Structure 1
Amino acid sequence: MKKIVIAYSGGLDTSYCAKYLSKEENFEVHAVSVNTGGFTKEEIEKIGNNAKLIGAKTYKNIDAVSNFYNKVVKYLIFGNVLKNDTYPLSVSAERIVQAIEIVNYAKEIGAEYIAHGSTGAGNDQVRFDMIFQILAPGINIITPIRDKQLTRQEEIAYLQENGVDMNWEKAKYSVNKGLWGTSVGGSETLTSSSPLPESAYPSPLVEKESKQISLTFTKGELTAVNDVENSPEKNIEILENIASKYAIGRDIHVGDTIIGIKGRVGFEAAAALITIKSHHLLEKHTLSKWQLQHKDYIANWYGTHLHEGQYLDPVMRDFEAFLQNSQAQVTGKVFLTLHPYRFALDGIESPFDLMNSNFGKYGEENKAWTADDAKGFIKILSNAGKIYEHVKQQ
């Protein structure tokens, strides 16, 4: 039988793919899900059992949380990346690593085919197909949902006719949880005007009393929460557990999709937003003026290319090298206060803090230059403007 690896989430689309390809196309189906955060042990076991019941010969869950952090999330933090100044690229960042893990697994077991359940109307089809084609041009890509343009009801009817009668009732909101945030889609996000209701977000407000916490960064990486050291990815999980109880990090992102239409999606990403904003504050104290200036547009391009599936282009490694090098002195502690629905950055402490009082205090005193030095500096600095105005008036 022909071996095929399916990017399997356990939802309706991938369940249809598993059944259809094993029964109608006579494939030997190997279902794979990639954990980039958000899976519990019980959920993994349930997904695996369902995959085999539907027709998969094997099921494998690949733990890629650390890989996801080291390959992608780390650089999103270094770059303080927020798409359209809003979205921390929660899902788009995950898909890249998931696609790479899936294609590597297909090669490992000698599969000549890979399937995914994407439709023809979203970004994921582009991300998956590009990674598969670049890393494994000899492997054929099968996409039944996209190719057959199936409706949800048609998929359910087919599965029921073939003895797969699970609870396919569509949840009111589509939720995708991962290490770097949770996306939330519903009828409201298909409009341009309606907000998501409180009930749509998976993390309800629990804590109402303000709480002070500290985050420690070492060369740009989150190495401790409240002075307790762990791996950066573990610290992100710990911070999410603390801050999500305050219902922090909710918003709706509006952006341009890869296929040219506008898209709108809700999300909650307490740890991602707090980490990015805290890291950025520490950078403001420890990086030079021009490091901050150039990091800004490089990070924006890094996030844009990542979002559009261009992760494997060599320019991404160039961006990463710059971002990594910029973090040499981004070490210190950030103090913040959590409140219901928001957080406040209180300040930082760092041995590399460039607010060095030996040179002066802004608006108060100058120690490293005289009044005459200041006057001469300002006079020279205004030369270009003087020349421009003189020529314009003539």
Structure 2
Amino acid sequence: MVIGTNEIKKVVLAYSGGLDTSIMITWLKENYNNCEVIAVTGNVGQDAELDGLEEKALNTGASKLYIEDLQKEFVEDYIFPSLKAGAVYENSYLLGTSFARPIIGKRLVEIALAEGADAICHGCTGKGNDQVRFELAVKAFAPTMKIIAPWRTWELKSREDEIEYAEKHQIPLKITRETNYSKDMNLWHLSHEGLDLEDPANEPKYDQILELSVSPEKAPDRPTYLTLSFEKGLPVALDGKKLDGVSLIKALNKIGGANGIGIIDIVENRLVGMKSRGVYETPGGTILYHAHQALETLCLDKETQHFKQGVSNKFAELVYNGLWFTPLRESLSAFVDQTQQTVTGEVKLKLYKGNITNVSLTSPYSLYNEEFASFGEDVVYNQQDAAGFINLFGLPITVQALLNKVGE
């Protein structure tokens, strides 16, 4: 739905300074009677992408730019709950873009309400998942707020059209037609889509696109060892040194990236119904997920561990689909938090050319009992008891077999 141009006097724009939002300030002012545009950038760890952003936003027509440091909240309230849940979308994707959108959307609403804005604008395409994630976050906190999504209404049909628009209006860009990958970077990951990656038959040009990592072939010829400490499912220390969540992820990104960890090339099912191909770099996150899952094998009982696998999948679907601010996601988090009460201990890992290997698992709450599991002589387990157990456990099979025999 196209909003009447006369209704809009002030717009809050989700501003990254990338191709889409770089031209949107100018486009909004052209199409909404020179409305005031307030740009908002959520700093979720995109680092160098923030350089020169304020000057660029103001020079292209924004009245002001908010740069909101959301890194601590991003880690503690979004990344770590997903880590504890073991949420992985389609067995591969660690949700780097997915859980960054709700926190930015929430902050957009807070600023829009404080500024008395008439609408919130985002630069998501009509084909992607992010439009849903942003807009559901807006609905959760400002259900009557108007939303402007230029990609669904404007005359530009491709990224090439956008570049031409920028050139016509003398809007500076950091990309060219040859480097026009669609990227999203934050503290957790970096994604790459578009250009040659749109054809799944093409091998990614890792030498050209990787920024957080090196390819496994270029990783060192010697392994790197590290030890992660967890308390109630949360990572709290690296090699014995206490670190806050932001610092820990940054440190693991460097270590993991140098060892070629966490590079995936996947075809995923988007919420809107189509498949898309992308390359993701998640070095630190891949290490954390691996270590956390390994510790859970030691600390969770069988029934809880197996049931949680289903919860993990559902949690990932909710996050991927933009349903963070929902009763079900909150309820699943409550369940997950209960399961994590004993997920405390240390995990030592070996990193080598893109691979992660467990070296050591220890926990004061370990359910592994060497006396019970031993192949040696023990006095705690009577192996003769197994016969009765198997008879009872296999009783339905026995009954079915007897019935089949009668029918022969």
- Asked if the contact 2:76–2:245 (Cα under 8 Å) also holds between the matched residues in 1, the reply is no
State the match for 1:5 in structure 2.
Answer: 12
| Paired residue type of 1:377 | F
- Asked if the contact 1:80–1:277 (Cα under 8 Å) also holds between the matched residues in 2, the reply is no
Matched, 1:233 2:241: no
1:376 to 348, 372, 388: 388
State the match for 2:79 in structure 1.
Answer: 73
**How has the CA–CA distance of structure 1 residues 149 and 292 changed in structure 2, closer, same or farther, with 3 Å as cutoff?**
farther
Q: Report the more deviating stretch, 154-163 or 169-178.
A: 154-163
- Asked if the contact 1:208–1:246 (Cα under 8 Å) also holds between the matched residues in 2, the reply is no
1:21 to 8, 17, 28: 28
Q: How far off its partner does 1:158 sit?
A: 3.4
Q: How far off its partner does 1:392 sit?
A: 2.7
| Paired residue type of 1:88 | L
CA distance in 1, matches of 2:281, 2:367: 33
CA distance in 1, matches of 2:397, 2:139: 54
| Paired residue type of 1:184 | H
Q: How far off its partner does 1:55 sit?
A: 0.3
State the match for 1:104 in structure 2.
Answer: 110
Q: How far off its partner does 1:198 sit?
A: 2.2
Query: How many residues in Structure 1 have an aligned counterpart in Structure 2?
Result: 391
Q: How far off its partner does 1:16 sit?
A: 1.4
Deviation sequence 1:143-175 (CA, Å, 0-9, x none): 223211513343334334434354552425333
Matched, 1:307 2:314: no
Matched, 1:178 2:191: no
State the match for 1:218 in structure 2.
Answer: 231
State the match for 2:142 in structure 1.
Answer: 136
Matched, 1:32 2:40: yes
CA distance in 1, matches of 2:308, 2:137: 27
- Asked if the contact 1:30–1:59 (Cα under 8 Å) also holds between the matched residues in 2, the reply is yes
**Structure 1 stretches (4+) deviating beyond 6 angstroms?**
none
CA distance in 2, matches of 1:316, 1:159: 40
State the match for 1:90 in structure 2.
Answer: 96
Matched, 1:283 2:296: yes
Q: How far off its partner does 1:277 sit?
A: 1.1
- Asked if the contact 1:84–1:255 (Cα under 8 Å) also holds between the matched residues in 2, the reply is yes
**How has the CA–CA distance of structure 1 residues 375 and 164 changed in structure 2, closer, same or farther, with 3 Å as cutoff?**
closer
Q: Report the more deviating stretch, 129-138 or 305-314.
A: 129-138
CA distance in 2, matches of 1:373, 1:307: 47
State the match for 1:262 in structure 2.
Answer: 275
Match of 1:85, SS state, is coil
Match of 2:350, SS state, is strand
CA distance in 2, matches of 1:370, 1:16: 74
- The 5-angstrom pairing of residues 234-253 of structure 1 reads 234-253=247-266
**How has the CA–CA distance of structure 1 residues 54 and 61 changed in structure 2, closer, same or farther, with 3 Å as cutoff?**
same
CA distance in 1, matches of 2:390, 2:219: 54
CA distance in 2, matches of 1:82, 1:169: 33
- Asked if the contact 2:58–2:65 (Cα under 8 Å) also holds between the matched residues in 1, the reply is yes
Task: Percent identity, please.
Answer: 28
Q: Report the more deviating stretch, 287-296 or 134-143.
A: 134-143
TM-score, normalising length from structure 1? 0.94
State the match for 1:169 in structure 2.
Answer: 176
Q: How far off its partner does 1:378 sit?
A: 2.4
Q: Report the more deviating stretch, 312-321 or 201-210.
A: 201-210
Unaligned runs of 5+ in 2: 1-7
| Paired residue type of 1:6 | L
- Asked if the contact 1:19–1:159 (Cα under 8 Å) also holds between the matched residues in 2, the reply is no
State the match for 2:307 in structure 1.
Answer: 294
- Asked if the contact 1:112–1:138 (Cα under 8 Å) also holds between the matched residues in 2, the reply is no
- Asked if the contact 2:43–2:68 (Cα under 8 Å) also holds between the matched residues in 1, the reply is yes
- Asked if the contact 2:22–2:171 (Cα under 8 Å) also holds between the matched residues in 1, the reply is no
State the match for 1:127 in structure 2.
Answer: 133
| Paired residue type of 2:237 | A
Match of 1:343, SS state, is strand
Match of 1:154, SS state, is helix
CA distance in 2, matches of 1:91, 1:192: 21
| Paired residue type of 1:173 | Y
CA distance in 2, matches of 1:67, 1:149: 37
- Asked if the contact 1:183–1:268 (Cα under 8 Å) also holds between the matched residues in 2, the reply is yes
CA distance in 2, matches of 1:304, 1:30: 32
Match of 2:24, SS state, is helix
Q: How far off its partner does 1:206 sit?
A: 5.3
Q: Report the more deviating stretch, 284-293 or 129-138.
A: 129-138
State the match for 1:194 in structure 2.
Answer: 202
